[in-house]
Amino acid sequence: MKGSIVLGTLALLGLMGALLFVTINEVDRMRTAEAAYAARAVETGALEFESRCRSCHGPQGKGTPLAPALNTAALFDGSRLAAAGYAGTVDDFVRGTISAGRPVPSAGTNYPQRMPTWGERFGGPLRDDQVDALVSFVMNWEDRATAEATAAPELPAGEAVGTDITQTLPEGDAGRGQTLAEGPLGCAACHTLSTVGPAWAGEGATPGIGARAAARLDEPGYGGAATTAEQYLLESVVETNTYLVAGFEANIMPGTFGARLTPQDAAHLIAYMLTFN
């Protein structure tokens, strides 16, 4: 009987010891598990993004002519929220946009289609947890997008193309110009339809931007300094308010491209624009 009592007491102590062991590690375990589930949500979001979002927003969320960039500082520094007149947080903005879509375009944008609804309760295919995972994935761009923006300041004066349209530019490559226009420069966002800026491609009887540039010089209303089509295009990019195409207002086109482009990039861009006839 003594043996049984000793054994029983030991078992009870063992049980309490085991519980104590779990208790000691519990806070750490919960913290790790929480981080792990947050991390797995990013993974799930990445898969969803690959299958549902990349075709319009680009594989790395850098934007395409069809949809704006998400992997960009503008989304996280509040400027896009301000442009949309949105008063909530970035997180809510992203969640709301994914779930409910965008019935009307934001000011200053000109995408061919509106963002569709993705959330199940708005008629889309995604459950709440999938939308949440997508939000986690998009929000995970914040660090890099912000760092990229601060790490790439405007080019120093000597290296930027500036506003002198008579300078001789190096040889340009239309293919690389297209990459620039549809990628980091974002030209395609506004110059695909003629809602915000004139479309580059020809529409109906109107020829493309390349042909229009050459014809522009002889138009009576033209008040700029360009003497060739190339100069006219460079002027339009770097001296945006010198000549305004009829029907478009001043200051819609950002005036900073003279400081952002190298002469080589400007040449690529112009070569690309000249391919639209």
Contacts to other proteins by CB under 8 A: 1, 4-5, 7-8, 11-12, 14-19, 21-22, 25-26, 29-30, 32-40, 42-44, 46-47, 50, 60, 127-130, 137, 140-141, 143-144
CB 150, min distance to other proteins, A: 15
Closer to other proteins by CB, 16 or 152: give it: 16
| Distances, alpha carbon 82 to alpha carbons 77, 108, 140, in Å | 10, 12, 21
CB 46, min distance to other proteins, A: 4
Closer to other proteins by CB, 46 or 149: give it: 46
CB 274, min distance to other proteins, A: 35
- Classify residue 116 by its DSSP letter: P
Closer to other proteins by CB, 16 or 245: give it: 16
Structure tokens that stand for 114 in this block: 């509106």
Tell the burial category of 126 from Cβ atoms under 10 Å away from its Cβ (0-12, 13-18, 19+): buried
CB 149, min distance to other proteins, A: 15
CB 15, min distance to other proteins, A: 3
CB 24, min distance to other proteins, A: 10
Angle, helices 263-273 vs 174-182, to 10°: value is 100
Please report where in the chains the tokens 């226009």 appear, as a residue: 181
Decide: 236 and 249 in contact? Cβ < 8 Å: no
Nearest CA-CA partner of 66 in 158, 193, 212: 193
Closer to other proteins by CB, 61 or 258: give it: 61
| Distances, alpha carbon 10 to alpha carbons 1, 5, 15, 16, 204, in Å | 14, 9, 9, 10, 91
Closer to other proteins by CB, 114 or 121: give it: 121
Closer to other proteins by CB, 142 or 173: give it: 142
